[in-house]
Structure 1
Amino acid sequence: MAPLRTPLHDPQREQKMHRIPPNEAKISAQAVAAFGNTPNPRLRQVLQSLVSHLHAFASEVELTEDEWLEGVRFLTDTGKLCDGVVRQEFILLSDVLGLSMLVDAINHRAGETATESTVFGPFYIAGMPERQAGESMAFTPGQPALVQGRVLDPAGEPVAGAVLDVWQTADNGMYSGQDPEQPLANLRGRYRTDGEGRFAIRTIIPVSYPIPTDGPVGRLLQASDRHPWRPAHLHFMVTAEGHRTLVTHLFNHDDPYLESDVVFGVKDSLKVVYQPCRANHPLATRYGFEGDFHLATYDFVLEHP
């Protein structure tokens, strides 16, 4: 069997690019040059590179007028589904194309000791309630859980007063704001570390869920024979003065979609185990669990700027 060829190393592609008719090459060169006087040097670099790659793409696939128009319609439909509050179809599109994770990797080349980042996602809502250590953020049913740990600096010293902004889906696989039946603050909250960098979040075990498929991104997945599922996870945005903001997830270690996350966001270092605990566990009394629950422990490490 002949080895598979990637677009970056495809001889036929390279030959095709070398055979671009002079008139088409001239159009591309003129379009790139048109942005040559952009005063901001970084903006000039981004725009000229973008135009160059867009033209190269169109030439490589020999884009038809109908395909170009369908692309315009697709982007128009994507914009129509962005409400500026909960639904952000362009972020969803970026996620399923792997672009979000690529940008994340470029901008968060953390050292070996720092917690790895992952995608922000399109369902964050700012201004959620401040919650006390161990306070429940779950107002809908699910398997009771406690997520605890510490926030540390690269030297292993505790970070006091760090804020952990947390959000997740309900058991029906939908986020508050996305689901009108949920209170807006359901499964969302802002927790702070104590003087020893410790935090405790009372919640429910996250579940796997499909991203929204009722829009253009869903049509794209269907056309490309891809599933829409994300593995179960808990979102975190961790901030602390003098440290770089961390945006990451904690994934259930045994989720069936870990190897095929539709947005490519899973990293091995971010997997946690939810251990079963009986109702007589010391933490049950401390945090108000009336029956059995599950316990996950994780320490976040923040980078310095």
Structure 2
Amino acid sequence: MTVRLSHTPAVQRFFEQASGLDNDQGSPRMKTVVQRVLTDAIKIIEDLRISPEEFWKAVNYLNDLGSRQEAGLLVAGLGLEHYLDLLMDAEDEAAELAGGTPRTIEGPLYVAGAPLSKHEARLDDGQDAGTVLFMQGRVLDTDGQPVAGAIVDVWHANTAGTYSYFDASQSEFNLRRRIETDAMGRYHFRSIVPSGYGCPPDGPTQHLLDQLGRHGQRPAHIHFFISAPQHRHLTTQINLAGDEYLHDDFAYATRDELIADIHFFDEGAEGRAQDYNGRFAEITFDFHLQRTDEAKAQQRLERMRALEG
């Protein structure tokens, strides 16, 4: 027999008290959110007949998730971060804000304060033997006009699928730079072709994905923040065409408009044109920004990030 208490006045009053709704201190917004979380949680317990053993397994899972610092990984893997993008897309459509390069998830691995360069930069420190990558393009508005002085903030993984700062074996700000576009909106950088990666196989995110019958792999990709005065900030990433997981990204970040063709060249004339004589790869990708006078829209979303603040 299933016993249900969540609808009773006594239980409702109990969780109002637990949420602080019976006092005039604290944050009204937080009280509303916590009350909703608590009332929805007890309905889940009742509807799915969650046992005390299952309840405490969930508590222990949250402890493990926090100790491994994988909460950002989990919300991507469960599609919640992608859902926020879908919600913002729908809000833009309702407000008739159209055009521009699509947004996609930021992920949890941005580090603030990367070195700033004019027009071009080298991202890698030369310690990774990966294939050299040359990437260039332009930052334009939705009318195709160049955006001079835009900041292209770029970061990506190495050939082992790890990121500097979070991987202590890499040098400071390796594979991370900020590049200011020239008068024609152009940017250019040299780096290495990144690899895709998977969730730590012994971590809580992959443990949950295993129980869902899902893998935890991401295709090779490159992250970007693109910003400029009087233009909407863009958080996005490109996925590299041809990757095994291109359309099976566990984080749901692939969007067709963000698939970048990557071309590989052996030693030859093209390499010499890039002042490089070995095998290399090349990507050309333009970003299009929407114009706005709204100051908040010109800034990236507020959230906790490494070295920011």
1:28–1:55 Cα contact (<8 Å) kept = no
Q: Work out which of the residue numbers 209, 212, 216 in structure 1 matches 2:204.
A: 216
Q: 1:114 to 1:40 in 2, by over 3 A?
A: farther
Shift of 1:108: 4.3
Q: 1:223 to 1:292 in 2, by over 3 A?
A: same
Shift of 1:20: 6.9
Q: Name the SS of the counterpart of 1:259 in structure 2.
A: coil
Give distance in 2, aligned partners of 1:28 and 1:275.
62
Q: Work out which of the residue numbers 6, 10, 24 in structure 1 matches 2:6.
A: 24
Give distance in 1, aligned partners of 2:272 and 2:233.
31
Structure 2 residue 289 is matched with structure 1 residue 296: no
Shift of 1:207: 1.8
Residue of structure 1 in register with 2:303 after alignment: none
Letter in 2 for 1:138: D
Q: Work out which of the residue numbers 71, 75, 87 in structure 2 matches 1:90.
A: 71
Give distance in 2, aligned partners of 1:128 and 1:171.
20
Q: Provide the TM-score with structure 2 as the length reference.
A: 0.81
Q: Name the SS of the counterpart of 2:206 in structure 1.
A: helix
Shift of 1:254: 1.1
Letter in 1 for 2:49: E
Q: 1:179 to 1:44 in 2, by over 3 A?
A: closer
Letter in 2 for 1:242: Q
Residue of structure 2 in register with 1:57 after alignment: 44
Q: Work out which of the residue numbers 232, 247, 253 in structure 2 matches 1:259.
A: 247
Shift of 1:102: 0.8
Q: Name the SS of the counterpart of 1:189 in structure 2.
A: strand
Give distance in 1, aligned partners of 2:234 and 2:222.
14
Residue of structure 2 in register with 1:77 after alignment: 64
Q: Work out which of the residue numbers 235, 242, 254 in structure 1 matches 2:223.
A: 235
Cα deviations across residues 8-63 of structure 1 (Å, max 9, x unaligned)? xxxxxxxxxxx974533226533554444677664454334333322222222111
Q: Provide the TM-score with structure 1 as the length reference.
A: 0.82
In structure 1, runs of 5+ residues without a counterpart are 1-18, 83-88
Instruction: Give 1:180-199 correspondences, 5 Å limit.
Output: 180-199=168-187
Letter in 1 for 2:232: R
Q: Tell which deviates more after alignment, 221-230 or 44-53.
A: 44-53
- Give RMSD over aligned pairs: 2.4
Q: Work out which of the residue numbers 124, 130, 148 in structure 1 matches 2:116.
A: 130
Structure 2 residue 158 is matched with structure 1 residue 160: no
Q: Work out which of the residue numbers 132, 146, 163 in structure 2 matches 1:175.
A: 163
Shift of 1:272: 0.6
Cα deviations across residues 216-251 of structure 1 (Å, max 9, x unaligned)? 112212333321210110011112122222111111
